[in-house]
Each structure stands twice: as C-alpha cells, then as structure tokens.
Chain A
Amino acid sequence: MRSGPTDEQRRRIRWTTVLLALAALGIYVAFIASSVMKARH
C-alpha cells in the first residue's frame, strides 16, 4: 500500500491550507473595503 502523510502532516496541511485561504480572502475583502472607504471621501 502507498503510505500517505502522517496524522501530524495531515494536521499541518489542513492548518496551512486554511491559513493561506483566509489570507487570500482577507486581501480580496481588504482591497474592496479600502476602495469603498476611498470612494466615500
């Protein structure tokens, strides 16, 4: 059988994925939000 990642690796993979996805989403929202702020001025 092919040996997959260990439990520890799986946990780290999950967390890194969530963190990076949140970072991408955060940047997207932040840029739109900052443009909304600029447009209101």
Chain B
Amino acid sequence: MSTTHTKDHAAHGHDEHGPAKGILRWLTTTNHKDIGSMYLVFSLVMFLVGGTMALIIRAELFMPGMQLVDPGFFNTLTTVHALVMVFGAVMPATVGLANWMIPLQIGAPDMALPRMNNFSFWLLVSAFTLLILSLFVPGGGPSAGWTLYPPLVLQTGDALPLAIFAIHLAGASSIMGSINIIVTIMNLRAPGMSLLKMPLFVWTWLITAYLLIAVMPVFAGAVTMLLTDHFFHTTFFAASGGGDPVLYAHIFWFFGHPEVYIMILPAFGIVSEIIPTFSRKPLFGYDAMVYATASIAFLSFIVWGHHMFTVGLPLAGEMFFMMSTMLIAVPTGVKVFNWTATMWRGSLSFEPPMLFALAFLFLFTIGGFSGLMMAIAPVDFQYHNTYFIVAHFHYVLVPGAVFAIMGGVYYWLPKWTGHMYDMKLAKWHFWLSTIFVNVLFFPQHFLGLAGMPRRIPDYSTQFTDWNMVSSIGGFAFGLSQLLFVYLVWKCVKGGARASAEVWEAHPKGLEWTVPSPAPYHTFAEAPLVK
C-alpha cells in the first residue's frame, strides 16, 4: 500500500489546538491519543492489581495447608482476579491500542464519536472502582468464580449488587467503545483504503467489535436475571421455583466463549503487524488472514457447550460441540501457518516486538493444542475442573494475549512518545517473562492431569512439588513485569529521538508516515491511499 499526502502533517500548524492543561485535560479530553493512553495506563494498573491477587493465590498454594488467607477470601481472590484481568486489564489494553492506532492506521483525524469515547473510558473506571469496593462490604467480595454461577453466587452478601452493577457498567462501556470502533472504521477511512486494504489490526478489531456488540448484552441479560432472582424472587435459575441453573451456564458460555476471542483476535492483529515488519516481507495470505479471523468469530458462537460437557448434555449435543470446537483449529491453523510463511526466507531481526510475537506464536499454540485436547468430550470429563484447564486458558491469555499486547506496546511506544526505549532492558524483560511464564504455567498441566482441582486453597501433599515450582515461577514472572513498568516510564520521560519510521525495517502503514511522537492532531486532511 502506498500513500500520498496533500500536505505535510507535521507542518500543519495545529499547536493552537493542543491539549488542555492539568487534570482537566484527562477528565474532558476527546482526543483519541489521550483516551488511548488513559486506557493503557488504566489497564497497566489493573494488571498490577490483578497480578497482586494472583501472587497472594500462588503464595497460599506454595505449600499444602492453610497459610495466609481464609478459604472464603481465597475464593474472592480467584473471582476478582479473573474479573479484573479479563474486563479491567486485557480488554482495556486492546481498546487502548485500538484508540491510539485505528485512526492513525486508517488515516482518520479521530474516532467518529469522540465524546462517547471519553464517556466509555470513565464508565470503565467507575465500574472497577465499584468492583474493588465490593471487596470491603459486609459478607466479603464476590466469590463464586468469574462465571458467577447460581445458586452459589446468590449466597454472596452485599457485594452481589455492587459486582453486577460493575459488570453492567463495564459492559456498557465495552458496547459504546465497540460502536465507536465500527462507526469509525466504516465511515472515516482515508480515500482509497478499501476494506481489503486495511491493516490486519484494524480488521481484527472490526470483527472483535461486532462480537462484543453481539455477546455483551447476553451477559448483561444473564446477570440482570441473577439480580431479579436475588432481590425480586424470580426463579430463572432456581430449581425450587421451576427455574434451571444450567440455563445460566448456557447463557454465560454463549457470552463467555466469544469473550475469549474478544481478547485474542486483537492480539492476532498485533502479531500480524509485527511479524511482516521484522521479516521485511508483506504478510503472507492477507485475504486468508481476514477470512480466517471472520471464521473464528463465527465459530466462536457455536462452541459454548464444550465448557459444559459434564452438566449432562445430550450425546448429539456433545458430538456437535466437540466437532465445532475442533473446527476452530482450521482457521487458527491458517493464521499460524501464514505467520510462519511470512517469516520464511524473510530477512529477520529480533527487536523486542518481534521476540514477543515469536513467543506468542509458540506459546499460544501450546494453549491452542491443550484446548483441542479438552474439546474431546469423553476426555474432558477427566480434565474438567482441574488445573489442566487453568494451565490451558492461562497459556492462551498470558503468553497469548498479554505477550501480544506487550509486543504491540514495544512496537508502537516510540511512535507514541517520540523516544526509543532501552532495547537491552526490553530484551531482559522478554527473556525473564518468557522463561518464568513457562515455569509458572507449564507445571499446572501436570497438576491437572494428576487430578488437582482448581479453585481450592489447600491440596493433597502429592501436588506439593509442582505447586512450589509454579509459585516460584509466578513470583519471578510478577517481579519481571516491574522492569516493563520502569521501561515504559523511562521511555515516556526521555530517550533517543525516534524517527517517523521508528524501525530500520521500514514498517508499512499510515501510522509510520506521521512524525514521532504523533502530533496531537493527525490527518486533518485525509491522506490518499493508492
């Protein structure tokens, strides 16, 4: 894709429209770059909050017996850790990247609905303030797991309405953000940028935004019904009144499985930007990558039953969900092979974004393979509710989604700040993270296969050794992330000047045609895309 510009963006003279000063800038901003930065900072804070909870969990599990926390609080920790990481950390991080990069990548001056953009962000902050506050109310925080399954969740104390209201607010924020992304991509692309000329990151977010609009209201509906069951004596999910608790599980996982792809599709997009740049080749099979993303999104709606094989589904249902789940391996395989083919005979270099993209490729695939194992219904009866599941989804979400997000930050950070970061330190961060994420999660496969159940604060002594290894990995991984925080802070403060292209590999795309740091207002006049 080549571009021409009617005017030089840098020399456009918008300094008079610069940001407001002080706290007011951040409260009232409608600028996509400001809002993108706020989402990214918010998600980093949530990573640290959720990570601290994870470390308390791993400290408790270091040895058998009860050491640090009581069992009720342990359950609260597992529940809130998951809610914070899913809705407060991973999703907002990809939304932050979308806010920063989508207008820059499609040549738009800003998001189409800038005021709603600001509202979405602050709604999310309110949601997580409520959720965290729910830890301190009488009866303790929510502790039924992130799935909030009834009837267990209905035993929650005063935290239930707070947590459910927080989920509603976070959901509303996500839906508004998604509408904004779709509307921006569909209406504000630079002239000449047809859909099949859009960068893969934009494509993956477009599809993700549709997924969000389709499934977030379903989750909102499910938790609304939980509220009415709790406070208005309806019995949607109470067997005593003719309701059905399994109905909740169906509705939840109809949302929950696409939710996994909501977290991972933008990660695919980021990796699809990084690998071609540092392979110095165009992405292999661009069209196939787009269709594979759309296929994964479609299939994600018809596989939810694989989370519920053990509830007693009809045999035909189990067969259907088993086959449809295995089918997802096809478009996912297309992606993995296309990334590999992009690197094939490329002129590779291993800057930090590429290192994270490569680690993503290997380690996400491990998570994908263990997912295939669980798709086999009769075998899943053995794995269900064990640490094998915990290992699987953490491989998908940590060295999968989180590594891709970190790769994306390392890829675009010089464009945002105008400074190069400390490459040596970034490589240290990469190697420590990659080694210890495996020390943390790989042994959990063994624990699960040996029968250790998930969501328990105590365990039989035969599980001790691998739990110790996993906990050591957890603390080392957690501490390694402080390097990332320091590195980002240092890069924001200063460093060697970054050029417009940033990378010697000559990355392709409109975002690299604007100076670094990207001016506060970009593409006041739309570039022409050839």
Interface residue ranges, A against B (CB under 8 Å): 2-5, 9, 12-13, 16-17, 20-21, 23-29, 31-32, 35-36, 38-39
Interface centre among A4, A9, A24, A26 (most CB of B within 10 A): A24
Look across to chain A and name the residue whose beta carbon is closest to the beta carbon of B521.
Answer: A2
Q: Are A38 and B179 in contact (CB under 8 A)?
A: no
Once A24-B213, A35-B236 are accepted as A-B contacts, the answer to whether A2 and B224 lie under 8 Å apart by CB is no
Nearest CB in chain B: distance from A20 CB, A: 5
Nearest CB in chain A: distance from B301 CB, A: 12
Interface size class of B (residues with CB under 8 A): 20 to 34
Q: Are B217 and A9 in contact (CB under 8 A)?
A: no
Nearest CB in chain A: distance from B147 CB, A: 17
Q: Are A5 and B187 in contact (CB under 8 A)?
A: yes
Q: Are B183 and A13 in contact (CB under 8 A)?
A: yes
- Interfacial chain B residues near A25, Cβ < 8 Å: 217
Look across to chain B and name the residue whose beta carbon is closest to the beta carbon of A21.
Answer: B179
- Interfacial chain B residues near A12, Cβ < 8 Å: 186-187
Q: Is B14 an interface residue (CB 8 A)?
A: yes
Nearest CB in chain B: distance from A13 CB, A: 5
Q: Is B222 an interface residue (CB 8 A)?
A: yes
Can you report 11 residue pairs joining A to B where beta carbons are below 8 Å apart?
Answer: A5-B188, A9-B188, A20-B182, A21-B175, A24-B179, A27-B218, A28-B217, A28-B224, A31-B217, A31-B222, A39-B234
Cross-chain contact of A16 among B182, B236, B521 (Cβ < 8 A) = B182
Nearest CB in chain A: distance from B244 CB, A: 8
Q: Are B188 and A17 in contact (CB under 8 A)?
A: no
Nearest CB in chain A: distance from B108 CB, A: 9
- Interfacial chain A residues near B234, Cβ < 8 Å: 39
Look across to chain A and name the residue whose beta carbon is closest to the beta carbon of B243.
Answer: A39
How many angstroms from the CA of A5 to the CA of B221 in the assembled complex? 35
Once A28-B220, A39-B235 are accepted as A-B contacts, the answer to whether A3 and B109 lie under 8 Å apart by CB is yes
How many angstroms from the CA of A37 to the CA of B128 in the assembled complex? 33
How many angstroms from the CA of A18 to the CA of B170 in the assembled complex? 20
Q: Are B525 and A17 in contact (CB under 8 A)?
A: no
Nearest CB in chain A: distance from B469 CB, A: 43
- Interfacial chain A residues near B243, Cβ < 8 Å: 39
Nearest CB in chain B: distance from A31 CB, A: 4
Top 5 closest A-B pairs, CB basis? A28-B217, A31-B221, A27-B217, A20-B179, A2-B524
Cross-chain contact of B14 among A2, A13, A28, A31 (Cβ < 8 A) = A2
Once A12-B187, A16-B187 are accepted as A-B contacts, the answer to whether A2 and B109 lie under 8 Å apart by CB is yes
Interface centre among B183, B214, B251 (most CB of A within 10 A): B183
How many angstroms from the CA of A13 to the CA of B184 in the assembled complex? 8
Interface of B is mostly: helix
How many angstroms from the CA of A39 to the CA of B213 in the assembled complex? 26
Nearest CB in chain B: distance from A8 CB, A: 9
- Interfacial chain B residues near A23, Cβ < 8 Å: 213-214
Nearest CB in chain A: distance from B287 CB, A: 25
Cross-chain contact of B225 among A9, A21, A24, A32 (Cβ < 8 A) = A32
Q: Are B109 and A28 in contact (CB under 8 A)?
A: no
Interface centre among B214, B221, B222, B242 (most CB of A within 10 A): B221
Nearest CB in chain B: distance from A35 CB, A: 5
How many angstroms from the CA of A22 to the CA of B423 in the assembled complex? 47
Nearest CB in chain A: distance from B175 CB, A: 5
How many angstroms from the CA of A38 to the CA of B242 in the assembled complex? 10
Q: Are B183 and A16 in contact (CB under 8 A)?
A: yes
- Interfacial chain A residues near B182, Cβ < 8 Å: 16, 20
Contact code string B82-93 (vs A, CB < 8 Å = 1, else 0): 000000000000
- Interfacial chain A residues near B220, Cβ < 8 Å: 28
- Interfacial chain A residues near B236, Cβ < 8 Å: 35-36, 39
How many angstroms from the CA of A34 to the CA of B179 in the assembled complex? 25
Cross-chain contact of A24 among B217, B224, B235, B251 (Cβ < 8 A) = B217
How many angstroms from the CA of A31 to the CA of B219 in the assembled complex? 9
Q: Are B221 and A35 in contact (CB under 8 A)?
A: yes
Q: Is B247 an interface residue (CB 8 A)?
A: yes
- Interfacial chain B residues near A4, Cβ < 8 Å: 109
- Interfacial chain A residues near B214, Cβ < 8 Å: 23, 27
